[in-house]
Chains A and B, each alone.
Chain A
Amino acid sequence: MAERGFDIRRQTGFTTIAMACFFMLYMPIILLVVYSFNAGSSIAIWEGFSWRWYVSAWDNEQVQEATVRSLIIAVCAAGISTTVAVLAALATTRTRKFKGQSVVFAMINQPLMVPEIVTAVALLIFFAMIKVATGYTGLLYLIMAHSAFCIPFAYLPIRARLQGMDLSLEQAAADLYATPYQVFRRITLPQLWPGILAGAMLAFVISLDDVVITEFVKSAGQDTLPTYMLGQLRRVVTPEINAISTVLLAISVTLVIAFTILSKRKT
């Protein structure tokens, strides 16, 4: 018998290490946020509170352009990847096992398994060929690339939701002579919405944060916020980068919390 008050779950030192982990995870981020409000231009010496770096980021034309570009790409990529992911998820959850299923799964999950740098240079090679052949150097390459690697992130929560859904409603509708489209539009889609929104948010965050693939695929003058920041790191760093980071951080945190709530919601 264990003695009274003996907590069988406790392991010596584990709580200390866990607390150290949480401290380690958050301290650098918190410092980053704090120094984005520094009045001075140092990122280590506090000189009082000021919004000046947010103002200077806001007035910086390169930052403005990069922000607009980042948002265009992320919205397009999230929209495209979520749409095709819904279709793909329907195809892979609502039918029996089929020939080529494992190939389809491998292709959908490829962006998760192949190291990002490998995907990046593969896209560099392929798009360089197309750029030479067509002369087109617009944003479509980046949108295509982002859509592709966002697909698994949109697909997974949507498929999870489809698998968790009760099939009897859809079967009842089909028994009542609803066409497959009607079943989808009237029965499946309303139940699937939280999954779709969750998938779209993940895709949006993933696209907004990508730096490696964008760095390799972008044509000249097509910086997004992350590639702009990466470029700035080579020069003198001012808290302006902290300010941009803080804004991006706030967007990610908001979307992730929304995602968590959405993927828990039952209907």
Chain B
Amino acid sequence: MAGQAISQDKAAARRRWLLLVPALTILIFAASGPLLITLVYSFLAPGDFGGVEWEFSTDAWFNVILQRDIFEDTLGWSDAHLSIFWRSVKLSLMTTLVCLILGFPTAYFIATRPKSQRELWMLLIIIPFWTNLLIRTFAILELIRNEGTVNTVLIGLGVIDEPIQMLFTEFAIIIGMVYVYLPLMVLPIYASMERLNFSLVEAGYDLYATRFQVLRRVILPLVKPGVIAGSILVFVPSLGAYVTPRVMGGGNQLMIGNLIELQFGQGRNWPLGAALSITLLAIVMVALILYVRAVGDDEVRHG
């Protein structure tokens, strides 16, 4: 009997791996494998016309944040890279904050609708989310460009004489990213708000708490996992954003994604591009690990 069970187990295990082989093959070939090669490339020397020379070099990693002055041969901080990193983190944090300020009340609003209406409101959040990111960025672009809707309307109303330059600024990037990633904030907050037991809210009011106190002391702690999840879901793609800063920020407001692209295009420094990619990936992974920790702890506390 025992022998038969073991051989059955082995057959099941074999079948399982057979079923996984097609998916894993594609993923190794077009996801995990290329990522490993990128890591290898970051330790090679750049080729003359893009590509790499196959010799070990840590120059790319030095260049991520340091630069050598060619005239004086001294090492200094790479101001260009550091300012782009800083801008990426700053704009991503601001995007996350604005999304939270707009998304939390929206999720709360949907969660407090009658059950029959909630699905419709959620569909209204989901539709833009599945709409092509480029199209949404483009829609915002049309709104805020110099000849765009906002300026045309304001000039038409006589509020301003000259169009306001909104495009190609950090403001434009934030607007664009908020617009694109807002649904990612609403969805997880709504998910945890939907499970919220409103009799706890009622109990709060019965104990003479004000609306604000109930919000801060009862609701917020209970939906915290959703808030953290939403913030991560907005922060991570913002940090790696490529299309939105390219369209909205123009050539002067680069973010990490655009810096990476530059190294593969005009910069012709593939190892540096590879090292920057791995750096971005590392920052994202740290954020994800922090998220798992935060939500994990929270689940323990609230049982």
Chain A residue nearest in CB terms to B239 = A115
Q: How many B residues face the partner with a CB closer than 8 A?
A: 90
Are A248 and B135 interface neighbours, CB within 8 A?
yes
Q: How large is the interface on A (under 10, 10 to 19, 20 to 34, 35 or more residues)?
A: 35 or more
Q: Which residues of B contact A35 (CB under 8 A)?
A: 142
Question: Residue-by-residue, is A108-120 near B (CB-CB < 8 Å gives 1, otherwise 0)?
Answer: 1011011111111
Q: Which residues of B contact A1 (CB under 8 A)?
A: 206
Q: Which residues of A contact B237 (CB under 8 A)?
A: 115-116
| A85: contacting residue among B23, B109, B256, B288, CB under 8 A | B23
Indicate whether A28 sits within 8 Å of B132 (C-beta atoms), given known contacts A12-B211, A84-B26, A121-B274. Answer: no
B236-252 CB contacts (< 8 Å) to partner A: 236-237, 239-240, 242-243, 247
Query: Which candidate, A42-50, A56-64, A186-194, is the interface stretch facing chain B?
Result: A42-50
Q: Which residues of A contact B19 (CB under 8 A)?
A: 87-88, 90-91
Q: Which residues of B contact A21 (CB under 8 A)?
A: 102-103, 105-106, 182, 186
Query: Which candidate, B59-67, B71-79, B276-284, B295-303, is the interface stretch facing chain A?
Result: B276-284
| CA gap between A2 and B186 in the complex, in Å | 29
Question: Residue-by-residue, is B175-202 near A (CB-CB < 8 Å gives 1, otherwise 0)?
Answer: 0000100110010000000000010011
Given A115-B281, A117-B260, A216-B264, 19 new contacts (CB under 8 A):
A1-B206, A2-B205, A8-B201, A10-B112, A20-B102, A28-B136, A28-B142, A29-B128, A87-B20, A111-B31, A115-B284, A122-B38, A145-B30, A151-B23, A211-B133, A229-B135, A248-B132, A249-B135, A257-B127
Write the residues of chain B forming the contact surface with A, with a CB cutoff of 8 angstroms: 12-13, 15-17, 19-20, 22-24, 26-35, 37-38, 41, 51, 101-103, 105-106, 108-110, 112, 123-128, 130-136, 138-143, 147-149, 151-152, 179, 182-183, 186, 198, 201-202, 205-206, 211, 215, 236-237, 239-240, 242-243, 247, 256-257, 260-261, 264, 270, 273-274, 277-278, 280-281, 284-285, 288
10 of the cross-chain contacts (CB-CB < 8 Å) are A18-B109, A28-B179, A43-B148, A87-B23, A90-B19, A107-B31, A115-B236, A117-B240, A118-B281, A128-B51
